[in-house]
Structure 1
Amino acid sequence: MAAARTPVLRHFLSCQPRALRVWNQRRWAQVHDVRFLATTQQPRNLVEKYRDKLDRKAREEGHNDIDSLKAAYADKIHALRKEADVVVPPLPPPPPPATPTTPNQQQQQPPPQIPKQPSSSSSTGIKPLSSILDLPKASALALQELTAIWRLHHAAQPTSLSAIIPAATFTTMQATARQHPQFVLPVPHPSQGAEMHFLQWTWDAPTRSATVLFTQLAEYKARGEFAAPHTTVTHYTDLADEGKGVVLMQGSVVRDRGVRVEDAQWLVVCLQRFYGGWDGIGGGEAQERAEERRRLLEWFGRGDGRFSVERLLEEAERMG
């Protein structure tokens, strides 16, 4: 989201892995003649072990003893030994079986991979409203009950912000935000004057949400796109078209960023007023003030020289 911060403030601010050593492994591998090992290490008592069977075989064929039997089969034994001396090239190893053939092999097969379920948050890290509320049950509640539950859910967190905004009001705010996604707002400090804060709108289609990031202007001037926001406010539109006609807003203030929760609340109120959330309330002078706020948004977005911090502060004081 930091990459989306265009240089809109320029006018305003000027006033490897290691390789496998397979070749070396093959080079130093040792090959043994298995046939040699098998035929030269016969046990010395092999003849003694089978003497009874050899004696019986010799008598059956009319020989006096084992030596006479060996002499009779000398030519055949010589031919078999000569045939065994022929070197046969080794066969390539057989491919692994496609399916297990024994129960033991079946037990050794790895379990099938289960597809991962989609994450509960989008690629932007924003949680969907369904991970916070049971949407079917929330849709069935009366608006007063839904409001109480939403506020109670955030009451236990001292750094949280929450609100329920009429869908028509948010539609007006969002239309203005699409045209002017960045702006600056002041936070008045009676003993120190006013502190300026930079805001940016972002949208996330998977969660049907619009988020506003607030960053101290001094922080943004010092760090640019790498500046960290102190307050994040997300608007969920899931219930806007579900018969409720409301948008649920929740936000949080980061501790130790030099901003109090009261300051963040003031910024949210200013956000609603400058982006048309209070348009149509009252007439005459109220309408003139709404037009002035709209002009300030347009001038800031275009880098128009008519935008000034003094006019912005004057308009913020009228709101107080």
Structure 2
Amino acid sequence: MSSIRSPVLRHLLAGSPRTLRASNQRRWAQVHDVRFLATTQQPRNVLEKYREKLDRKAREEGHGDIEALKSAYADKIKSLRKQADVVGVPPVNGVPPPPPPPTSPTSTSTSAPTSKAKPASTAAAAAAAAAAGGVESKSGTAPLSAILDLSKARMLPEKELAAIWKYHHATKPNTLCAVIPAATFERIESAAQKFPSFVLPVPHPDQGAEIHFLQWTWDAATRSSTVLFTQLAEYKARGEFAQPHTTVTHYTELKGEKGVVLMQGQVVEDRGVKMDEARWLVMCLQKFYGGWEGEVGGEGRRELLEWFGRGDSRFSVEKLLEEAERMG
């Protein structure tokens, strides 16, 4: 994960996560009638813990120090962070997955990695999928051709394609999916290219809210964009070693032909985030990045996104919580 230069984020990182969760505690408890599990894992300094082993590995491989070792493995580290490539989100229009259609172009030769797979295994699976689809991707993101038979998908009407995509993900654990209209995604992506990082709150009744950090990345080889979600406390503790708990990938390969963008993602187990929380984060992502054009409150959300991205002092966690409360 690349370094972040926003003064606002540096201010958030300097603050206490506990203080952020306690902010507006009473209001969150009154507004949100949902059950969430707070993350209480104490952060650890990974670099210090494994410094001796890293030093030894650097010497064994002929690198001068740990920094040289990190540089040599930079591409591999980046690839491993993007491997949870099958996550699902409720459709933008809120319609539940339909019953299975009579025929499906979904590929049976390539299965999506499960959340229990080890990172190295997932990376290998993604690389194999990319090779099978004839696409070389340094990011490790599997191409859409590894998920759908594109020759058959291109022959389907938009509604049938959407139905197949939703059905394909309906029974997969810890996954989210959506079919996003092309015009809607173009608004979202336009804002993302200007402001590729942001923070979002997840409400915890009786405990305030926990702040999560998101970052957009793009992969030209697979014509996709990916959003990585990480607890802000995790990012503060581990920096570039922080592991995302949710990864959401948008495929634009059929955008021109079918007028839709296919989205899927993965919620990683045992990282302190439940499916309901992941759905909330993706819904907030779409709303703050302009997915609902003309909606009441949209201007306030847009301002917060811009203020954060530009390091404007007008941005504050208090205002972020107030805006998120109105969406709840």
Q: TM-score, normalised by structure 1?
A: 0.64
Listed one character per residue, the Cα deviations across residues 108-140 of structure 1 (whole Å, up to 9, x for unaligned) are xxxxxxxx9972451101000011001121121
Instruction: Please tell me the residue identity of whatever aligns with 2:311.
Output: G
Pick the structure with greater CA Rg: 1
Write out per-residue CA displacement over residues 65-107 of structure 1, whole angstroms, 9 at most, x where no aligned residue.
Answer: xxxxxxxxxxxxxxxxxxxxxxxxxxxxxxxxxxxxxxxxxxx
The one-letter code sitting in structure 2 at the alignment partner of 1:232 is: T
Does the alignment pair 1:314 with 2:325?
no
Which one of 240, 251, 255 corresponds to residue 236 of structure 1?
251
Higher relative contact order (CA 8 A, sep 6+): 2
Distance in 1 (CA, whole Å) between partners of 2:197 and 2:129 is 35
In structure 2, what is the Cα distance between the partners aligned to 1:273 and 1:117? Answer: 32
Count of aligned pairs = 214
Distance change in 2, residues 1:313/1:207 (3 Å): same
Task: Give the Cα–Cα distance (whole angstroms) in 1 for the partners of residues 3 and 158 of structure 2.
Answer: 37
Which range moves more in the overlay, 269-278 or 297-306?
Answer: 297-306
Paired residue for 2:185, among 156, 170, 174? 170
The one of 261, 266, 269 aligned to 2:283? 269
Does the 8 A contact of 2:176 with 2:264 survive in 1? yes
Contact 1:180/1:297 (<8 A) preserved: yes
Number of the residue aligned with 1:214: 229
Aligned residue runs from structure 1 range 104-183, under 5 A:
119-120=131-132, 122-183=137-198
Distance 2:299 2:130 in 1: 45
> Any unmatched runs of 5+ in structure 1?
18-115
CA shift, 1:191, in A, is 2.5
Distance (whole Å) between structure 2 residues aligned to residue 118 and residue 261 of structure 1: 27
Does the C-alpha gap of structure 1 residues 117 and 215 become closer, same or farther in structure 2, counting only changes over 3 Å?
closer
Give the AA of the match of 1:253. Answer: V
Give the deviation of 1:294 after TM superposition: 1.0
SS of equivalent residue, structure 1 residue 149: helix
Q: Could you list the per-position Cα deviations for residues 210-258 of structure 1 after superposition, in whole angstroms to 9, with x for gaps in the alignment?
A: 000000011001111110000000000011011x100000000000000
1:5 aligns with 2:12: no
1:293 to 297, 301, 312: 301
Code of the residue aligned with 2:183 in structure 1: it is: A
What TM-score comes out, normalization by structure 2 length?
0.62
Equivalent AA in structure 2 for residue 119 of structure 1: A
C-alpha distance in structure 1 between counterparts of 2:168 and 2:319, whole Å: 38
How far apart in 2 are the matches of 1:196 and 1:152? 32
For the residue of structure 2 that corresponds to 1:158, the secondary structure is coil
Deviation at 1:298, TM superposition (A): 1.2
Query: Is the 1:202–1:211 Cα contact (8 Å) retained in structure 2?
Result: yes
Q: What amino acid does structure 2 have at the position aligned with 1:215?
A: T
| 2:273 aligned residue (242, 259, 262) | 259
